[in-house]
A and B are shown apart, each in its own frame.
Chain A
Amino acid sequence: MRTDTPTSEVRSGPGPIGTSPPRPDGLAKVTGAAVFADDLVLPGLWFGATLRSPHAHARIAALRFDPARAPEGTVAVTARDLPGPNGVQLIDDEWPVLADGVVRHVGEAVALVAAPTRIAARQALAAFTVEYEPLPAVLTMAEAAAAEAPPLATVEIAYGDVEAALAAADVVVEGTYRTGHQEHIYIECQAMTAWEEDGVLVAAGSMQCPYYVHKSLVHAFGLPANRVRVRATAVGGGFGGKEDYPSLIALHAALLARAAGRPVRLAYDRHEDIVATTKRHPAEVRHRTGLRRDGTLTAVDVEVLLDGGAYRTLSSVVLSRAALHAGGPYRCPHVRVRGRVLATHTAPNSAFRGFGAPQTQFAMERQMDRAARALGLDPYTIRARNVAGPGDELPTGQVLDESAGGRLCLEEVERRTGFTARWRELERERAFRLGDGSVRFGDGAEGRKPARGVGLSLYFHGAGFTGNGERRMRSPVAARLLADGRIEVLTAMTDMGQGCAAVFPQIAAAAAGVGAEDLVFAEPDTAEVPDSGPTVASRTTMIVGGAIASAVGELRRRVDEWLAARGETPGAFRAAAARYVAAGEPAEVEVRHEPPEGQQFDDERYQGAAYPTFSWGADVAEVEVDPDTFAVHPVRVTAVCEVGRAIHPRLCAGQVEGGTLQAVGWALLEEVKLADGRYLNDRLATYIIPTVRDTPRIDVHLLERPWAGGPFGAKGMGELPMDGGAPAVAQAVENATGLEIDELPITPERLYERDRDGRRVGG
């Protein structure tokens, strides 16, 4: 094991693996020079606006546009003007481009306009008349479950005999846990510009997946692939929110651009972005857990319900990942996970960092805490007794590889924070303040001082696509030698902040044995780069980075062999490569990611290797809870993450810092409130994310157990930190208040109600 604390060491160029050179896009971002989606300047640009449903569910009885009431020249588009199928091509195409005859959520796009200015476009929306006939709406998971409509997706994992194991268990603990919507709040709202250029339909904007957008344009417009071109601009944050939605907004912009015969931009303001775009799935997770008296897990039975919203989008794969992480990073001989995504008349929920796993791991970690209390164990001991390690089997039968670092993380976070002693001390303090539960938290604080609490979580995250995703895509990257001997690397990955702009050059330089000056990276533009897959699922460094290493390594080998065959000694690579190119030798290579033979998954029966590997983490959170206001202030989070190999430790730690805060925000502050299917807090003034004042200090320690399948040992880790923060904070609040936490976010109102109703933890 090597503990690698990020250093502030600065070097020029890509630098060796494990150093932290300045990110290549950094200077452009701090000087304002970076070009984001709404910064593109185009001659003759018009602006679009979108007419949206005010109803959760309604029939559109009539839809009329009166040009006389719109600014001169306005163009309007409705579902009747679509050139092809009315569906956004993702896994399927059931998500309408524009509502046709019926609307299924508030904010659904009904019609589009384009006009010469942003203001004119908004004014033009008033020229539409829509007659809606409201229909009954299903607005919550509870209503959806009661309605017994067919689910959007289902999954079942069966391992061992869970009913027999529950019957034989020393103790059975039950629990139900709920988490709410979460809005991405990437600081750059969604924006896309489309135009036609020499018979090619072009879309440029903010996105994670240029080839998803490409595929949806090809599908909806019925165009050959080479007549559609998609370019990613600088991406001002994604977190999953720019995985599928950019396909829809690109379709809208393209429809308007064709109708107007000029470039048209759709740029959402924050209000529209919150109302229209996807969110994290709300979840309800029910557990029945069997244990021996010493805390060993013998049976885990989980039922997962997700609120999918009105359309399937990516819900089936979110459910899959949710279910595969539902038993947590633990060893257990008998596991059953049953999951369903229910449809409601709300905006579709889809990808958000963690992709279902934060919801189910929150539930599992809370359930472990509940079981520990039932057995008189502390949170560390029950986790240490059950954490899965190398050679252990997960519920799909996947055997963990030697890089499985859960126990290392647990021990290291305990060593660094002295968690267990501190937790016990605060338990005693609380018992002193509140007696055996007879005194309310709000009445028992000594001198009205905030009460302190600490909490521990253990978590893991499957790196890369679930199941056979990578095998199906076999996504290529390309590399070629330029005439001047530099290596150009071509991928479709976008840097939304996570830092592939820095990490890819490091990988390529190390794999080819060249310097920064010998490398060029193509922009993510489908006219130039191959479809190396979407920038999602913690796959970019591990999967695409691995393919880059192979591709540039192959070019290096060719040049070296060519030199050797000519009896020449290798001098400077670039000069030699330039001569190799001039000699007409093969200078291009395409490498496809091929999963290892042993990595097989049966996606009918949910058996086999669900992920190439896992990254691991353990968090300790310390909070203060105000006994007057019930506000929870997070003081510090210590996150210990095992990531295989940190190519760029500063950026890697940056992922953990940012992901941890998103998790803490989800745990404490972020709550989407709905009434009649309408978001009540649809602005940044009312949807609250953490400011620097609400933020704990986040102390990150990276552990490295290099994984043979990743470039230089790296494992995917971008989503990992989203899994650990919420359960650690929840346990810390319990430690401080003695109040049972089974629902997020932990708002003052919820805490107060629990105190009033006497919902205390045992002990």
Chain B
Amino acid sequence: MSVTVRAAVNGEERALTGHPMARLLDVLRESLELTGTKEGCGEGECGACTVLFDGEPVLSCLVPLFQCDERQIETVEGLAEAPRARAFLDRFVAAGGVQCGACTPGIIVTAWALLEREARPDVEAVRDALAGNLCRCTGYEGILRALAVDAGADETEEAAR
């Protein structure tokens, strides 16, 4: 059994053929060789496979191919090519948001969607947006520093009172 759907992937119209229940994750990685999108758990828990689906972050391991017809899909590779993304990407690296890099594409995609909605999110907003993206290296501190306007504030005084 096989279906063909038409979708825009990173702005380019593509005909994608496969089993209707093929995971978008596999279609991207194997058929299109867009290997920036990672599999971390395969069951919607870790966020490593996040892509934008009509502008909204979704977990591509849970999206079957048949749902992709007439959709706009954007992966980390597509975002990275946007000229206005460069400053954000540089800031993310400089702040220590990246260590091993396996969760990074999913976090970049999710964070990009957040920043499109809210240019200067605070720590709470970033925590809400990234609650579905696991990172095992950074303790999330570098990611918060890169994204949240108030991440650098010293809260020691408040906490210790």
Contact = CB atoms under 8 A, between A and B. Distances in A.
Judged by DSSP, the binding face of B is loop
B102 A236 contact: yes
Given A22-B90, A26-B98, A422 B42 contact: no
A365 interface: no
Interface stretch (B1-9, B64-72, B128-136): B128-136
Given A39-B35, A691-B134, A692-B140, A270 B102 contact: no
B79 to A, nearest CB: 8
Interface string B109-141: 000000000000001001100111111111111
A639 to B, nearest CB: 10
Interface of B: 29, 33-43, 45-46, 48, 75-77, 80, 89-90, 92-105, 108, 123, 126-127, 130-145, 152, 154-156, 159-161
Contacts of B136: 184-187, 237, 239, 658, 662, 689
B101 A34 contact: yes
Contacts of B160: 417-419, 422, 454, 622
Contacts of B96: 6, 650-651, 653-654, 657
A244 to B, nearest CB: 18
6 closest Cβ pairs, A-B complex: A32-B36, A236-B102, A497-B100, A29-B101, A497-B99, A26-B93
A186 B127 contact: no
B140 A695 contact: yes
B6 to A, nearest CB: 23
18 contacts: A27-B93, A28-B101, A32-B80, A38-B35, A187-B136, A188-B40, A237-B99, A271-B42, A418-B160, A422-B160, A622-B159, A650-B142, A654-B99, A654-B142, A657-B96, A658-B137, A684-B43, A691-B131
B25 to A, nearest CB: 11
A25 B39 CA distance: 20
Given A658-B136, A661-B140, A693 B131 contact: yes
Interface string A448-478: 0000001000000000000000000000000
Interface in A398-441: 416-419, 422
Contacts of B45: 683-685
Nearest to B45: A684
Contacts of A238: 100
Contacts of B48: 187
Interface string A630-661: 00000110100000000000110110011111
Given A653-B96, A654-B142, A658-B137, A29 B156 contact: no
Contacts of B94: 8, 10, 20, 22, 650
Nearest to A620: B160
B140 A30 contact: no
Interface in A1-33: 6, 8, 10, 20, 22-23, 25-33
Nearest to B102: A236
A417 B99 CA distance: 28
A662 B46 CA distance: 16
Contacts of A698: 139, 141
A500 B11 CA distance: 36
A269 interface: yes
A417 B92 contact: no
B159 A30 contact: no
A270 B107 CA distance: 19
B93 A237 contact: no
Given A23-B98, A635-B159, A236 B142 contact: no
A270 B131 CA distance: 19
A699 interface: yes
A59 interface: no
A657 B138 contact: yes
A562 interface: no
Nearest to B26: A118
Chain B CB within 10 Å, residue with most, of A8, A34, A187: A187
Nearest to A695: B140
A423 B89 CA distance: 41
Nearest to A652: B96
Contact of A187 (B34, B42, B135): B135
Nearest to A185: B136
Nearest to A425: B161
A30 B104 contact: yes
Given A8-B95, A187-B38, 10 more contacts: A188-B102, A234-B100, A236-B38, A237-B99, A658-B136, A658-B138, A684-B134, A685-B41, A692-B143, A695-B140
A742 to B, nearest CB: 26
A256 interface: no
A20 B94 CA distance: 8
A684 B133 CA distance: 12
Chain A CB within 10 Å, residue with most, of B46, B99, B104: B99
Nearest to A496: B100
A269 B39 contact: yes
Contacts of A657: 96, 138-142
